[in-house]
Amino acid sequence: MRARFLLICFVFFWNNVEVQAQKYELGKVTVAELQEKVHPIDSSAPAAILFKKGKTIFTYNYKTGFSAIHTYEFKIKIYKKEGLKWADQKVQYYVGYQNLNEELLSFSNAVTYNLENGKIEKTKLENQGTFKRKINEYWNEKGITFPNVKVGSVLEYKYVLKSENIVQFPDFDFQFSIPVNYFEYKTEFPEFYIYKALLVGTSTIENSSKIVSGSQSYENEYGQSRNFLYQQIDSFYSGKDIPALKEEPYVNNIENYRGSIKHELERVRMPEQPVKDYTITWEGVASTIFKDDHFGKEINKNSFLLEDVKKILANVQSPKERMNVIFQFVQNKMNWNEKNSYYTDKGVEKAYTDQTGNIAEINFILLNMLKWAGIEANPVLVSTVENGVPVYPTRTGFNYVIVAAEIDEKQVLLDASRKFTSPDILPLNVLNWKGRMIKSDGTSKEIDLVPIKPSRENASITIKLNEDGKINGKVRIQRTDYEAYKFRVQNGNRNQDSYLEKLEQQLGDLKISDYSITNKISNISDPIVETFSFETNNFVESIGGKLYISPMLFYTPSKNPFVQENRQMGIYFGYPKQEKLFVNVDIPEGYVVETLPAPARFSLEENAIHLSLNVSSEGNKIQFNFSKDINNSIFAAEHYNALKTLFQKMLASQNEKIVLKKI
């Protein structure tokens, strides 16, 4: 039971049902809408989208050919103060094309409606309510801030995005953090372009498609008006009462679950020209990417690396040692410029000279050096957690590349862009289901990115309990693999004094002394080990001559992380992990054990999660141990209730007390 639980549910409705949509138009605000105090279905909603309409059509220019025009209209109702943030609307658009003109975005029809003395008052957006900013070299952003917005207001606006990119359109989202009463989306695609349409999410929507006549009027190079006719495919999508997509704990990327309609170009069949197929299969994706000069050529441009490879591998014989030496060399030499890509920007040679590059440049340098060392290595395309899951063949679904090396007939995954990664320990946002390894012959292979081996955090605590409830103890904590990597990322560059100050607070305001740590920023393939002594007056209560002890001390959980009644999204733990806690207690002289927590064992189906707790005593010593094994990285939403019940039962056991009575 692995990550085959689908993060995204695809529901297709290719029926020919004609949808007679109600009229939803801007400028038709009613008194009843302005008087409405709460959303009729979701009374907790701070706001709601009364409707969202979208339309994608094509236009033609003799110089640039076909372009797409995407038009969107919104009507939003504000119910609560928390909903006032919907008065700020921002849209990003792409400007980083090399061969296309940048996209154009414009807002219009922005109006705030309020009810004043029983009459509808309109406040139009003025120029000072609009803004534009540059995000980076690839993206700009435009936005508007509505005037005179208050609880009860209704907002309307429209924006148009013009783009020469007809390979992939912006996603049409129809699910947000607030409910959507109604949406509709129309597309009009000339017969020359065949698109793959996918519905993301679990909402049931209606869809119809038909073939109709289409035409384009344009001016030729001589300024003469021209017109041509063709067949086009008109599609219509609509849905009602779409629930809010709310934040839930243990979610990798909420965008994987947001209701949306996606389109990607699959085939172009222009008159009197050969049919051009785009990415239909994964092999097609691999071949297309590999042929690009910023990919294929760059993983074969390696002569400038030969001398350095010879120097660093002098007297290094085994393939595993060679891999480790090269990995550490690239990791130490190169600095990531925080740009994700599977294409190079300035090229591997320039990046090597500058000692700075994007993800592709750094990992292609690693790849090329491994090849010089006689190690078989291939690039692996990845979609990071923030980028979503590419569950169908697509070039644009990937945004990252790592390296797969063959060592002793075993595959090792490598990413030298971060300072705390190591062989088979990747950045956490790269652990996103599957990658796609591309070989030089153009073939590709699916690669598991999530490890099978669990990462461990084992804690051993020895405490001496005094009659007044004071505890003196010693702690040893060992973290391996991803647990160690996560600790290094969070604390590797932190000053020890500030770290200990925060740690004392996290552990219940205790006092720490004799602190030591090994392998914090060196030997990063090895476990991290922390040891310290502590003293505290917490975790023990004295009532009626008896002492009540929390056996898990500062590891005692206070609440179940899963409290929602229902779950929309899968439960994501990132990677398999194992936690173990061992506590040895010396009880004070003159006391004996009256009550111990009952042993407990709980398991999810097929042992996907296993929790156990046990306590025993002998003489003046008590031994307590707890273990939690999470053997899968992700669980489908359908398992939520069982998982919630499992954690609730264990929570009750973990909060049982050891009771000591005075002799």
Give the pLDDT confidence of 153-208 residue by residue, as tens digits. 999 999 999 999 998 899 999 999 999 999 999 999 999 999 989 898 889 999 99
Contact yes or no for 504/510 (Cβ under 8 A)? yes
CB atoms within 10 A of CB 603: 13
Q: Give the model confidence (pLDDT) of 312-336 as tens digits.
A: 999 999 999 999 999 999 999 999 9
Q: Give the model confidence (pLDDT) of 440-460 as tens digits.
A: 887 889 999 999 999 999 999
Q: Residue 499: which H helix or E strand, with range?
A: helix 496-506
Number of H helices, E strands in the chain: 9, 36
- Strands 609-618 vs 276-277: parallel, antiparallel or unpaired: unpaired
**DSSP assignment of 232-270:** EEEEEEEEEEEPP----SS-S-GGGTS-EEEEEEEEE--
- Strands 444-448 vs 400-407: parallel, antiparallel or unpaired: unpaired
Outline which parts of the chain fall under CATH 2.60.40.3140: 39-277
Strands of the 130-134 sheet, one edge to the other: 88-94, 139-145, 130-134
Residue type, 534: F
Give CA–CA dist 557/628, Å, rounded. 13
Give CA–CA dist 71/55, Å, rounded. 5
How many alpha carbons lie under 13 Å from residue 621 in its C-beta half-sphere?
5
pLDDT at 218 over 50: yes
Enter the pTM of the model: 0.84
pLDDT at 2 over 90: no
pLDDT at 422 over 50: yes
Cα dist. 433→381, 490, 615 in Å? 12, 24, 38
Strand segments (E) across 502-653: 511-518, 528-536, 540-543, 546-549, 571-572, 577-586, 591-595, 600-603, 609-618, 621-630, 634-635
Distance between terminal CA atoms of the chain?
52
Architecture of domain 39-277: Sandwich (2.60)
Mean pLDDT to the nearest integer, 118-134: 91
pLDDT at 10 over 70: no
Q: Which among 550, 380, 582, 381 is positioned nearest to 475, based on CA atoms?
A: 582
- Given pLDDT bands bounded at 50, 70 and 90, which one contains residue 5? very low
Give CA–CA dist 162/68, Å, rounded. 6
pLDDT at 16 over 50: no
CB atoms within 10 A of CB 534: 23
CATH of region 455-662, choose from 2.60.40.1190, 3.30.300.30, 2.60.120.1130, 3.40.50.12590: 2.60.120.1130
Q: Which among 80, 73, 9, 72 is positioned nearest to 43, based on CA atoms?
A: 80
* pLDDT at residue 412, rounded to an integer: 98
Contact yes or no for 78/153 (Cβ under 8 A)? yes
CATH of domain 282-448: 3.10.620.30
Q: Give the model confidence (pLDDT) of 256-301 as tens digits.
A: 899 999 998 889 998 889 998 776 677 777 788 888 889 988 998 8
Q: What is the CA radius of gyration of the chain?
A: 30
Percent of the chain with pLDDT over 90: 79
Q: Give the model confidence (pLDDT) of 549-599 as tens digits.
A: 999 999 999 999 999 888 889 999 999 999 999 999 999 999 999 999 999
Outline which parts of the chain fall under CATH 2.60.120.1130: 455-662
pLDDT at 4 over 70: no
Let me know if 69 is exposed, middle or buried by CB neighbors in 10 A (0-12, 13-18, 19+). Answer: middle
Contact yes or no for 433/450 (Cβ under 8 A)? yes
pLDDT at 20 over 50: no
> How confident is the prediction for the chain on average, in pLDDT?
92
Three-class SS of residue 515?
Answer: strand
Give CA–CA dist 539/532, Å, rounded. 18
Outline which parts of the chain fall under CATH 3.10.620.30: 282-448
Q: List, in order, residues 6 or more apart from 605 with CB less than 8 Å away.
A: 1, 639, 642
Q: List, in order, residues 6 or more apart from 85 with CB less than 8 Å away.
A: none
Contact yes or no for 124/130 (Cβ under 8 A)? no
Residue with token string 């435009």: 142
Cα dist. 218→136, 156, 223, 228 in Å? 34, 32, 9, 9
Strands of the 621-630 sheet, one edge to the other: 511-518, 528-536, 471-479, 455-465, 577-586, 621-630, 609-618, 600-603
* pLDDT at residue 196, rounded to an integer: 87
Q: Which among 613, 657, 290, 571 is positioned nearest to 443, based on CA atoms?
A: 290
CB atoms within 10 A of CB 237: 22
- Given pLDDT bands bounded at 50, 70 and 90, which one contains residue 654? very high
Contacts from 283-289 at CB under 8 Å and sequence distance 24+?
A: 283/442, 283/443, 283/444, 284/393, 285/393, 285/394, 285/395, 285/436, 285/444, 286/381, 286/436, 286/438, 286/442, 286/443, 286/444, 287/442, 288/395, 289/342, 289/381, 289/395, 289/398, 289/438
pLDDT at 392 over 80: no
Contact yes or no for 493/477 (Cβ under 8 A)? no
